Amino acid sequence: MQKQTRLFFACTLALISLAFGFIIRAFLINDWQQIFNLSKTQIGSIQGAGLYPQALTILFFSLVVDRIGYGRVIAFAWVGHMLSAVITMTATGYKGLYWGTFVFALANGAVEAVVNPVTATLYPQSKTHHLNMLHSGWPGGLVIGGVLILLLGTAGGPGAWRWKVALLLIPTAVYGFMMLGQRFPVQERVAAGVSYADMLREFGLAGCLIVSVFAAYALDEILQVFGSRLSTTALVIIPLAITGLMATRIRSFGRPMFVFLMLVMILLATTELGTDSWIAALMEPVLKNFGADAGKYVIIYTSVIMFVLRFCAGTITRRISSLGLLAVCSAIASAGLFWLGHAGAAAGMVFLAATCYGAGKSFFWPTMLGVVSEQFPKGGALTISAIAGVGMISVGVLGNPLLGTIQDHFLDQNLAQEYPALHEKIVEPAQTKYGLIYRPLDQTRIHGLSQTEKDEVNRVLTANNQATLAKVAVLPAIMFLCYVSLLLYFKSRGGYRQVHLQNTGLSNT
């Protein structure tokens, strides 16, 4: 195997490890809810912990990776993945699950800080195509990991979930071995002689402010695990202080289009990762008549679609451009989510809607990375990692927890409206998050209900879950409008073209 091919393959295997951890968490989240009596909001926090810390390490390592070396960053990731599996396997409650997921996400960020810029550097003439091929490791890992979890079933008794977490050790060991002795290429920006300061100027103060706002909220999420919170004043001061500190180094707003794409990435990440985090749990009550694992088949099925389609990105973008592909996919994903939200319990309709959603989301993440790499090469590892980091941190501190809170809020309202007496029997004290007031359901009390009462709760839960997916459909609809506006902008300038670095200058082709 050629060195270039082996390195690319090793990077893909590293992404498979990320997918294993993600699918394990998505498939076990309902089990953890029952075993540890978790609220939907706590589940959302655990899901968020699997994403926003990833953004922190993506951004940190993107600033220093060219100086400390890609090999050291990958070594950090490998140790983190191993440690996270051990912490999660020994968890005895919410905090253990949270911190195991948190460490896993830190390791994931280190992986993304390496594999994305390395791939863009290895294949400068086909960035979007090869980034899509690289990120085929994500759906591929979801499929392999998901099938293995289903095959394990309940083997191992009440502690079966711990053996499923241990599956993460397999791809981690393999990619660690594949990375041994690898020589990483010099990043495109460094090879062209673009200075570190010029890289920061591409990112700009606006980019720094956006990232810092989410970083402050990430810190707030961490403090909540310990029963504390940041004040509103602190949430304002921290981003301003970080941005002010950066202003002492550079005097640049940043590229306006890059800032715009960072904002769009918030919607994209919530549509793809936020929904995927919840979709198995959301669809299980809907498809309960088709077996306990029916909801899990939805995410495996959509991942198979994504895996196959990502190998076609190069052919498609030669016809309609990377932005055209993103616009089309946004429209399809919006239709698919809305359809899922109104598909009812008929398995055939659910899987047709899931096909639409799976096809729509297939190219989102890697194609967005490709657009940033093609348009802002002076930003080097920072801009391509920052766009991924903003996606991760936004869905971690906003998207996932917000989806959980929305579920708790409307479930509380709907149950109180339809079955007020039953509602009072099973709710916990009122909580407030994201401006929404709700009373989460106590899973222990639900277990003590009669079968008739359980059926009533499940009926409301099923309707609420599908309604949540329909609400999320508005996000890719907004994305569609954003991408169309960018297409019109490029059309006014002669069409979409990749920007290439030539020494320290820029040229369009």
H or E segment to which residue 383 belongs: helix 380-394
pLDDT reported for residue 507: 37
Percent of the chain with pLDDT over 90: 24
pLDDT reported for residue 479: 95
pLDDT reported for residue 285: 58
pLDDT in tens, 179-220: 888 888 888 788 888 888 888 998 999 999 998 988 888 888
SS3 128: helix
With a CB cutoff of 8 Å and minimum separation 6, the contacts of 4 are: 122
- Say how far residue 393 (Cα) sits from the centre of its chain: 8
| Residue 351 β-bridge partners | none
Smallest CA-to-CA distance from 154 within 281, 47, 17, 27 is with 27
What are the chain's domains? 3-418+463-508 (1.20.1250.20)
Determine how many CB atoms are found less than 10 A away from the CB of residue 52: 29
Segment 356-368 shows an average pLDDT of 88
Band the pLDDT of 276: cuts 50, 70, 90: low
Q: Residue 297, exposed/middle/buried by CB under 10 A (0-12, 13-18, 19+)? A: buried
With a CB cutoff of 8 Å and minimum separation 6, the contacts of 159 are: none
Q: Which two tokens stand for residue 373?
A: 């790499």
CA neighbours closer than 13 Å in the CB half-sphere of residue 168: 30
Q: How far apart are CA 300 and CA 144, in angstroms?
A: 9
Q: In this structure, which amino acid lies at residue 395?
A: V
Please tell me the total number of residues recorded for the chain in this structure: 509
Is pLDDT of 280 > 70? no
Q: Which two tokens stand for residue 406?
A: 């929305």
H or E segment to which residue 41 belongs: helix 40-49
First-to-last C-alpha distance (Å) of the chain: 32
Segment 339-360 shows an average pLDDT of 79
Q: In this structure, which amino acid lies at residue 291?
A: G
Is pLDDT of 314 > 50? yes
Whether the Cβ atoms of residue 74 and residue 183 lie closer than 8 Å to each other: no
pLDDT reported for residue 506: 41
Is pLDDT of 124 > 80? yes
With a CB cutoff of 8 Å and minimum separation 6, the contacts of 122 are: 4, 7, 8, 130, 185
Is pLDDT of 504 > 50? no
Is pLDDT of 64 > 70? yes
Task: Return the ∠ at Cα 132 (arms to 127 and 137), rounded to 5°.
Answer: 130
CA neighbours closer than 13 Å in the CB half-sphere of residue 8: 18
Segment 260-273 shows an average pLDDT of 89
Band the pLDDT of 243: cuts 50, 70, 90: very high
pLDDT in tens, 221-233: 778 777 788 888 9
**Poorest-confidence range of 165-179, 211-225, 394-408, 414-428?**
394-408
| Residue 499 β-bridge partners | 508
Band the pLDDT of 423: cuts 50, 70, 90: confident
Segment 318-346 shows an average pLDDT of 86
Q: How far apart are CA 381 and CA 329, in angstroms?
A: 26
pLDDT reported for residue 53: 83
Whether the Cβ atoms of residue 107 and residue 81 lie closer than 8 Å to each other: yes
Q: pTM for the whole thing?
A: 0.79
| Residue 202 β-bridge partners | none
